[in-house]
Structure 1
Amino acid sequence: MRVLVTGASGFVGRAITQALLDAGHGVWAGSRRGEGLGAAQGLTLDVTDPGSVQRAVGQADPEAVIHLVGIIQEEGRQTFERVHVEGTRNVLAATPRGTRYVHMSALGAREDSGSRYSSSKARAEALVRASGLDWTIFQPSLIFGVGDDFFGRVLRELVSTAPVVPQIGDGSFPFRPVSVQDVAQAFVGALSTPQSVGQTYALTGPQEYTFRQLLELELRALGKSKPIVPVPIALMNLAVPLMGLLPRPPITKDQYAMLKEGNTAPNEPARTVFGLPLLRLDDQLAAIVAGARNRR
Structure 2
Amino acid sequence: MAKVFITGADGFTGRYLAKELMRDGHEVCGLARKEDPSAAWRMRVCDLLDREALTQTLAIEKPDAVVHLAAIAFVGHGDVGEVYQTNVVGTRNLLEALTKSGCKPQSVLLASSANVYGNTDREVIDESVKPEPANDYAISKLAMEFVARLWEGKLPITIARPFNYTGVGQSSHFLLPKIVSHFRDKAPVLELGNLHVIRDFSDVRTVVSAYSRLLTGKFAGRTFNVCSGVGYSLLDIIAIMRGLTVHHPEIRVNFDYVRANEVHKLIGSNNELRTAIGALQPIPLRETLRWMLEHPTET
Q: Aligning the two structures, in what range does the TM-score lie when normalised by the shorter sequence?
A: 0.7 to 0.9
**2:177 is aligned with 1:153:** yes
Match for 2:112 among 105, 111, 128? Answer: 105
Find the counterpart in structure 1 of residue 86 from structure 2: 83
C-alpha distance after superposition, 1:80-100 (max 9, x if no partner):
101111111111111127422
Residue in structure 2 matched with residue 143 of structure 1 by the alignment: 165
Residue 11 of structure 1 and its aligned partner are, at CA, apart by 1.0
Q: What does residue range 64-213 of structure 1 map to in structure 2 within 5 Å?
A: 64-71=65-72, 72=74, 74=77, 79-96=82-99, 98-99=104-105, 100-109=107-116, 112-132=132-152, 133-149=155-171, 150=174, 153-156=177-180, 163-166=188-191, 168-169=193-194, 171-194=195-218, 196-205=219-228, 207-213=230-236
Name the CA shift for 1:91/1:135 in 2 (closer, same or farther; >3 Å): same
Partner Cα separation in structure 2 for residue 162 and residue 191 of structure 1: 42
The 1-side partners of 2:95 and 2:186 are apart by 42
* 1:70–1:115 Cα change, 3 Å: same
The alignment partner of 1:155 has SS state of: helix
Cα pair 2:201 2:227 within 8 Å, conserved: yes
Distance 1:222 1:102 in 2: 39
Please identify, of 16-25 and 201-210, the stretch whose mean Cα deviation from structure 2 is larger.
201-210
Q: Is the 8 A contact 2:5 2:30 kept in 1?
A: yes
The whole-number CA distance in structure 1 between the counterparts of 2:33 and 2:39 is 17
Structure 1 stretches lacking a partner, 5+ long: 241-250
How many Å apart are 1:285 and its aligned residue?
0.6
Alpha-carbon offset, residue 124 of structure 1: 0.7
Indicate how the Cα distance of structure 1 residues 154 and 165 shifts in structure 2: closer, same or farther if over 3 A, else same. closer
**Count of aligned pairs:** 272
* Alpha-carbon shift at residue 129 of structure 1 (Å): 2.6
2:120 corresponds to which residue?
A: none
Partner of 2:295: 291
CA, structure 1 residues 141+158, in 2 after alignment: closer, same or farther (shift >3 Å)? farther
Q: What is the TM-score normalised by the length of structure 2?
A: 0.79
Q: Which residue of 2 aligns with 1:262?
A: 265
Deviation at 1:145, TM superposition (A): 1.5
Contact 2:187 2:249 in 1 (8 A): no
Distance 1:187 1:215 in 2: 29
1:278 aligns with 2:282: yes
Aligned-residue Cα RMSD (Å) equals 2.9
